[in-house]
């Protein structure tokens, strides 16, 4: 399994991976397209898993903001992650997330936020975000699915406020 940065040549296959993983719906595949076209896209945080020249998994992390009064902090949001149904539960999602977190750390993105399965992400260090003074109002979600991962010690002590997802998430 080759875990690497997505290239333009992968776009069609990445669309298919998201389409298939999310039960033959195109919402997430289109979300990926909109994020790629936005200023919040970070090319090295669009990561694919390739097996025998076939893209079987994809992870996208992109920039967002946490706002508190007049202060704005740049953070990263993880969405979406997708592994082709035939390749799920073989550790591919795990490899993509570990690679994504490593790259974030290297680029000094120290807080990763997401909305996701409360049983899947804690094993990667994600914790309920509201416990740490982070808020999400754009989506009405239960506390346990709004999660944060702190990649630098004490980062959660200094960054609090409302997570604002960019427009690409709403079109």
Contacting residues toward ligand COA, per CB under 6 A: 21-22, 80-83, 88-94, 116-117, 119-120, 123
Tell me how far apart the alpha carbons of residues 45 and 59 are, in angstroms, rounded to a whole number: 8
Residue with Cβ nearer ligand COA (92 or 113): 92
Nearest to 96 by CA among 171, 9, 35, 21: 21
Name the minimum Å distance from CB 61 to ligand COA: 13
Tell me how far apart the alpha carbons of residues 77 and 42 are, in angstroms, rounded to a whole number: 11
Residue with Cβ nearer ligand COA (24 or 153): 24
Residue with Cβ nearer ligand COA (72 or 117): 117
Residue 16, token pair as written in the block: 């298919």
Residue 13, token pair as written in the block: 């296959």
Name the minimum Å distance from CB 110 to ligand COA: 21
């Amino acid at each position: 399994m080759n875990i690497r940065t997505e290239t333009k040549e992968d776009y069609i296959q990445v669309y298919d991976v998201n389409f298939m993983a999310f039960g033959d719906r195109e919402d997430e595949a289109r979300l990926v397209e909109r994020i790629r076209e936005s200023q919040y896209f970070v090319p090295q945080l669009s990561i694919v898993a390739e097996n025998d020249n076939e893209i079987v998994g994809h992870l996208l992390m992109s920039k967002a903001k946490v706002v508190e009064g007049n202060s704005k902090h740049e953070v990263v949001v993880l969405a979406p992650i997708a592994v082709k149904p035939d390749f799920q539960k073989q550790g591919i999602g795990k490899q993509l997330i570990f690679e994504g977190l490593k790259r974030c750390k290297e680029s000094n993105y120290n807080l990763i936020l997401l909305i996701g399965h409360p049983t899947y992400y804690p094993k990667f260090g994600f914790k309920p975000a509201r416990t740490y003074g982070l808020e999400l109002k754009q989506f009405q979600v239960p506390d346990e699915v709004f999660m944060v991962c702190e990649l630098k010690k004490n980062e959660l002590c200094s960054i609090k406020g409302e997570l604002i997802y960019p427009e690409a998430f709403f079109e």
